[in-house]
Amino acid sequence: MSGELPEGFSLRQDALATEFGISRIPVREALVQLEGEGLVTIVPHKGAVVSGLSIDEISELFMLRSLLEPLLLKKSAPRLTAEDYAQLDAILAEYKVELHAQHTTRWGELNTRLHEVLLSRAQQPRTAAIVATLLQQTDRYTRMQLSLSADSIKQAQQEHEQLVGLCRTGDVRGAAALLKRHIEHACKDLEQFILSRRRSS
């Protein structure tokens, strides 16, 4: 989950079971779950390998997020409570600390939590369930996007703070427009990174 293993890296069940001191059954179950999240690919007669980064997948996942999340935010923002804003402020404060500490795994968790709280009052359970899955599937991409440069970190942090501020002041339309741009920025950064890596390899 931290992005330490390169794409194509073989994940041998017996080695993982030995490393964690468990039987192969929970390892197999975990690998199946990771495949469902797009993090590994299970190849017949070969086993599990770390999934590669796909521009097509990134484009599709982030496009869906950019369409659905602003719709949910428009419904959720007017209903956010003082308790919700206290949670959002706490997430933003911790996010700033973790960004400076370079704790990439925590970045993804806090990013997902911030989006979840912002969208939590939409009262659209089916759409919210789809978005929750999309957030899970884009988590590793989000962490990678944030780790690309100091500018990416600063931009993401500023956009999160602006999002919360716009919701707090009742500018729902502005918040939804910013959320769409925020998701599109992340997608563009990732696409450019993958293309540049392919050109250099």
List domains and CATH numbers for the chain: 10-50 (1.10.10.10), 55-200 (1.20.120.530)
| Least-confidence region, from 2-11, 87-96, 147-156 | 2-11
Picking from 37, 57, 36, 45, the residue whose alpha carbon sits closest to that of residue 10 is 45
**pTM, whole model, 2 decimals?**
0.79
Higher pLDDT, 16 or 69: 69
- The CA radius of gyration of the chain, in Å to the nearest whole number, is 18
**Is the distance from CB of 122 to CB of 75 less than 8 angstroms?**
yes
Residue 41 CA to chain centroid, in angstroms?
19
Question: Rounded to an integer, what distance in angstroms lies between the CA atom of residue 42 and that of residue 136?
Answer: 19
Q: What are the tens digits of pLDDT across the range 148-180?
A: 677 777 888 899 999 999 999 999 999 999 999
What pLDDT sits at residue 41? 81
Per DSSP, what are the bridge partners of residue 10? Answer: 49
Among 8-12, 22-26, 118-122, the range with the most confident prediction by mean pLDDT is 118-122
